Amino acid sequence: MPNKIEADFSSTHHDINIGINEQDRKALCKGLSKFLADSYLLYLKTQNYHWNVTGKMFQALHVLFEQQYKDLAEAVDEIAERIRALGEYAPGSFASFSRVSSIKEESSIPTAEEMIQNLVIGHETVVSTARGLMTLTEECEDDVTADMLTQRMQVHEKYAWMLRSMISANKSH
């Protein structure tokens, strides 16, 4: 007969006692799953643009898009790991991301300026999703998730500003 410790480790369900009740953890994970989906589809779109950008701004955009998709790759891992730390499974398929994301898959190769505009919208969408989740993190007293969201909003707001600046600079010349 297994002892108590062995029995506890063999259980398929472990209670999570981190000061956030199960209902709140599930609600947080649902919001984080949408945030993950938005972030992942923005990552995919940014990497696609990195590969396929052409025109006078090629070098600058190629480098900027690479910086952004590498940052997004790290971010999606952090978001997924937060979902796991809260006790839920992170979605991990394109189909599951597509169902909940506000960012849609690219169906063609846009011009460089359209790429910039699309990414501005994408970054702003990710910020809006994160901002919408902040109220729940406050209600659940989940400072860890709130901190992660705050950091990601700062990054996405900066990227959107940088991209908008490229459009403005391009139009003025």
DSSP per position, 60-96: HHHHHHHHHHHHHHHHHHHHHHHHHHTTSPPP-SHHH
50 backbone dihedrals φ, ψ, rounded to 5° = -55, -45
| Interatomic CA distance for residues 81 and 90, integer angstroms | 8
Q: In this structure, what token pair is assigned to residue 3?
A: 């002892």
Q: In this structure, what token pair is assigned to residue 45?
A: 């779109």
Q: For 55-88, how does the pLDDT look when each residue is reduced to its tens digit (9 = 90+)?
A: 999 999 999 999 999 999 999 999 999 999 999 9
Q: What percent of the chain has pLDDT over 70?
A: 88
Is 5 inside a domain boundary? no
- Contact present, 53 and 61 (Cβ < 8 Å): yes
Please write down the long-range contacts of 76-80, taking CB distance under 8 Å and 24 or more positions apart. Answer: 76/36, 76/39, 76/40, 76/43, 78/148, 79/32, 79/35, 79/36, 79/39, 79/148, 79/152, 80/36
What is the mean predicted confidence (pLDDT) over 28-34? Answer: 97
Is 6 inside a domain boundary? no
Q: For 92-118, how does the pLDDT look when each residue is reduced to its tens digit (9 = 90+)?
A: 999 999 999 999 888 899 999 999 999
Is 4 inside a domain boundary? no
- Chain mean pLDDT for the chain: 90
Confidence label for 171 from pLDDT (cuts 50, 70 and 90)? low
Number of domains observed in the structure of the chain: 1
| Interatomic CA distance for residues 15 and 167, integer angstroms | 51
CATH number at residue 90: 1.20.1260.10
Residue 136 has pLDDT above 50, yes or no: yes
Is 151 inside a domain boundary? yes
DSSP 55: S
Is 14 inside a domain boundary? no
Is 7 inside a domain boundary? no
Please tell me the pTM assigned to this model: 0.87
Q: Which of 8-17, 23-32, 124-133, 162-171 has the lowest mean pLDDT?
A: 8-17
| Interatomic CA distance for residues 153 and 131, integer angstroms | 8
The continuous run of DSSP H or E covering 135 comes out as: helix 112-139
DSSP 119: H
Is 47 inside a domain boundary? yes
Domain that holds residue 91: 19-172
Residue 10 has pLDDT above 50, yes or no: no
